[in-house]
Structure 1
């Protein structure tokens, strides 16, 4: 009887990769990058991406408001494995950015893995199967079907769930109501009286674009924003108007060594001022003086506006922006700035907190997104744990990429990713590499599920909060870094530079996870005593070296 149940080794070499299925939700920057990396670094893995929109591109597909552009230098906003020598300008518009990322998806054959117009409506962990069970809505056929996977990758992004502001009476407005992330390109603003609610990056781009064509523009500002010089201005000879000449573009295309060095220069220049983010640092003190003087100059030394619009909190507490033309637009005769807050939206306009009535033909809500990191659909983990409910107070996460109670679930661009303090795309690439390293671990060591430990998350968040006390993001400002609060936990940027983030996640700390194995003996992956390399005729002596040889 004992011999029947006796353990028997597997007739296969060590680290034989087991078949796995990987599903990614979202085909924005992260999803496209994941499709490329999948083709380079994973084998024996079925892969599909479900994308709710009718095309790829995420943020750069959805945002089409006037003036929409990236204030980061274009050559610092590409994947590491392939730059774009054909950028037309130093700072490019949303349309050109979209074309780059869509072009990457096509060039790298990513589109064959992407199912467009497919919205995931539920993800539920099955303990019995050690798999995620998904419900997906096909918006073209209005049908719902099911799928399942061993590993679930969330690439839905932080700037994804746009939301109307929570202002009483919003639905009663009888004029044109727009949101910066849900724009109506057919609406004609010419000669209209228009309100712009907000003073974040979108509002700062919209206001100067509308000001020359509208009859009157009123900007409602709850919290001011630091307006700064252009990012990496030392490399932009004509500031915001810097264009690349045909000769420069030709050299970028032909001289690959020169082009790579230029890309590195842009990246290093953009990340050279990280000390700004430490409270009380010398660069922080210098920046407050420099940027305040710049804002006064751009506001035409209008003391009333300077008092209202120059922040009292540290530079970087909210995301600062160059705001090309924004402050200059606010001092034009057809522009009014209201900082008293909004009491309610009326059928004809807005009633400010001081009781003043303002009539408008159109209201533009540049009020941003739901930045709580709570998913837009039910994600149900072990023991029925709902991720949205679990993260109601704040995201309980690990290194931005994992959450306790949600095995085999990895996040790209999650809470405390390097989203505003360095190279966004470099951080996303690091998260993709991290998730795929975990997939390979599961494949080659018979791991059915891996879940980050609760006590590990407690200690990680304790460290995060301690370090955030020293960073300007925890300063006294209302910010989406703190999910729209003034004193809440900082769930936006990483607790350091992008380079710090990349090094921290370079090698997964598997000891921080609880592992469940698919075989009774965890060492069954050792197999029959042979390696894949020796069985396939690989050179098994490539470890040998001879000085001078």
Structure 2
């Protein structure tokens, strides 16, 4: 099994993306704690912003808001930062707090188990280069692994017969040059809308096969000139004001996600804006393929990265004809036609509504997280991060390429989830403060509190546009047609901030160790003795 003598750190974190770096930085900022180890399966930090290297990859939230509140960046090059720029930002923040030295790369965590005797978590970690298994223990375990990290497998028959490269957009092959090639792109969500304008002028011919529709909204991406960068950097308060203004503008959008008369009016207005934009910008022959028949917000909105204009390219074809088979020379559609391809790219999404995927996390009772969730219809967590039976364990926001990070019910359809990541971190560090102070051995959320929170969350979600009828990765549906949403947060972000600022400590169990009991009773005995002597 390799090395089995456990190493130890007070904090252990799976992942090295936004939320992991936020955790390490906040521990140092708040408590001066630096005893943390990160385990990352990739060869560098950054999570989704290191792993995703497909052409055109960028964030779809303004970078001034899609960044840490404690580490503002006045040097963003444009409103929507590219993947590389976000990775550089994360690298900078990690170095500011000396976190990279605490990271182990090419390290895949396979199992975490609670050790009742020591009140620690034991982690089993495989070195992806040597195959050796390492054992590490920690008092507090944080999972920042993400959910949209497992590309959806190719569900089209005949994939093995294709004579050229075939890969998922999240696993873009850097050794494959699409210049002068016939390329087939499957999908038309956020990722595909970024890929098309980035590669269409390079290809000999680009054939895009769309499976569904999405609301495409007018673009908001413009460069930040040197003037604005100087203003952000040298005039106190300007950058903070811009961040707050963007936050408030985004929060206003949340009105459109509620199934109310006001929400419906808001959606109808912006559906009209999007429809007019698509008709004005995209070729008329594609309008029926592009304009959805469901409510805006039911699926992820797309701020147009140049996709609609790119559809005018003479070497681009968009088709709704379903692909029934992959053949050696390309793809065969239901009408019997074969589209030739030198390269096939799948932008068909990810396996969703899975958390801590590929990692067996075992709690106090010996049950895994997935077994714990069998009590519900899908994944959930108290305060979007904690589970009964899993003491000193918190799920932070994970990876969501090319969008954001996410944990159980923390994704948003309208704003930056870095805000939610910070709220998650701040909440967890407040909850465990009694343990850090030596007043308890561990903190564990009560079962009844978790059940109440989960019921309230799903009830609130049923009154949002995410349950309005479209087929979306936000929801998981069982054989009986019952929907479970483990992805999105159905309230305004200030409410999440408030809940994170003021934890309900009565919803938590704090176990006091034997030593603390002895000290407590020893003090009482001493007081009684001194009183008796007097």
Instruction: Give the TM bin, normalised by the shorter chain.
Output: 0.7 to 0.9
The residue correspondences of 1:25-44 to structure 2 (distance < 5 A) are 25-42=14-31
Q: Secondary structure at the match of 1:175?
A: coil
* Equivalent in the alignment of 2:467: 474
Q: Secondary structure at the match of 1:368?
A: coil
Which of 366-375 and 387-396 deviates more? 387-396
Q: Secondary structure at the match of 2:483?
A: coil
- From 49, 52, 61, give the equivalent of 1:60: 49
- When normalised by structure 2's length, the TM-score is 0.87
Give, in angstroms, the shift of residue 496 of structure 1. Answer: 1.0
Q: How many residues align?
A: 500
* Equivalent in the alignment of 1:509: 504
Maintained 8 Å contact 1:474/1:489? no
1:244 maps onto 2:224 in alignment: yes
Maintained 8 Å contact 1:482/1:491? yes
* Equivalent in the alignment of 2:420: 427
Q: Distance in 2 between matches of 1:484 and 1:70?
A: 28
1:384 maps onto 2:366 in alignment: yes
Cα–Cα, structure 1 residues 500 and 340, in superposed 2: closer, same or farther, change >3 Å? farther
Which of 418-427 and 95-104 deviates more? 418-427
Q: Distance in 2 between matches of 1:262 and 1:318?
A: 28
Residue by residue over 1:444-477, the C-alpha shift from the partner in whole angstroms, topping out at 9 and shown as x without a partner, is 3532333323333332222222211221111222
Q: Distance in 1 between matches of 2:69 and 2:462?
A: 32
Maintained 8 Å contact 1:373/1:415? no
Q: Distance in 2 between matches of 1:522 and 1:185?
A: 60
Residue by residue over 1:202-233, the C-alpha shift from the partner in whole angstroms, topping out at 9 and shown as x without a partner, is 11100122221222222222211110023xx4
Gaps of 5+ in 1: 1-18, 234-239, 530-549
* Equivalent in the alignment of 1:299: 282
Q: Distance in 1 between matches of 2:470 and 2:450?
A: 27
Q: Distance in 2 between matches of 1:521 and 1:441?
A: 13
Q: Distance in 1 between matches of 2:116 and 2:349?
A: 37
* Equivalent in the alignment of 1:327: 308
Residue by residue over 1:16-36, the C-alpha shift from the partner in whole angstroms, topping out at 9 and shown as x without a partner, is xxx982111111001111111
How well do the aligned residues superpose, as a CA RMSD in angstroms? Answer: 2.5
Q: Secondary structure at the match of 1:493?
A: coil
Maintained 8 Å contact 2:188/2:213? yes
Cα–Cα, structure 1 residues 175 and 511, in superposed 2: closer, same or farther, change >3 Å? same
Cα–Cα, structure 1 residues 388 and 447, in superposed 2: closer, same or farther, change >3 Å? same
* Equivalent in the alignment of 2:273: 290
Q: Distance in 1 between matches of 2:214 and 2:168?
A: 20
Q: Secondary structure at the match of 1:186?
A: coil
* Equivalent in the alignment of 1:519: 514
Which of 179-188 and 262-271 deviates more? 262-271
* Equivalent in the alignment of 2:4: none
* Equivalent in the alignment of 1:11: none
- From 216, 235, 250, give the equivalent of 1:255: 235
* Equivalent in the alignment of 1:447: 440
- From 166, 169, 172, give the equivalent of 2:161: 172
* Equivalent in the alignment of 1:540: none
The residue correspondences of 1:90-101 to structure 2 (distance < 5 A) are 90-101=79-90
Cα–Cα, structure 1 residues 431 and 50, in superposed 2: closer, same or farther, change >3 Å? same
- When normalised by structure 1's length, the TM-score is 0.85
Q: Distance in 2 between matches of 1:343 and 1:415?
A: 35
* Equivalent in the alignment of 2:385: 401
Give, in angstroms, the shift of residue 325 of structure 1. Answer: 1.9
Q: Distance in 1 between matches of 2:291 and 2:33?
A: 56
Give, in angstroms, the shift of residue 528 of structure 1. Answer: 6.1
Q: Distance in 1 between matches of 2:33 and 2:98?
A: 18
Q: Distance in 2 between matches of 1:81 and 1:358?
A: 51
1:162 maps onto 2:143 in alignment: no
Q: Secondary structure at the match of 1:60?
A: helix
Give, in angstroms, the shift of residue 123 of structure 1. Answer: 0.6
- From 488, 495, 500, give the equivalent of 1:500: 495
Q: Distance in 2 between matches of 1:310 and 1:526?
A: 71
- From 58, 67, 73, give the equivalent of 1:78: 67
Residue by residue over 1:74-130, the C-alpha shift from the partner in whole angstroms, topping out at 9 and shown as x without a partner, is 211111012111112222211111111111111221223222222212111223332
Q: Distance in 2 between matches of 1:460 and 1:325?
A: 41
- From 274, 285, 297, give the equivalent of 2:254: 274
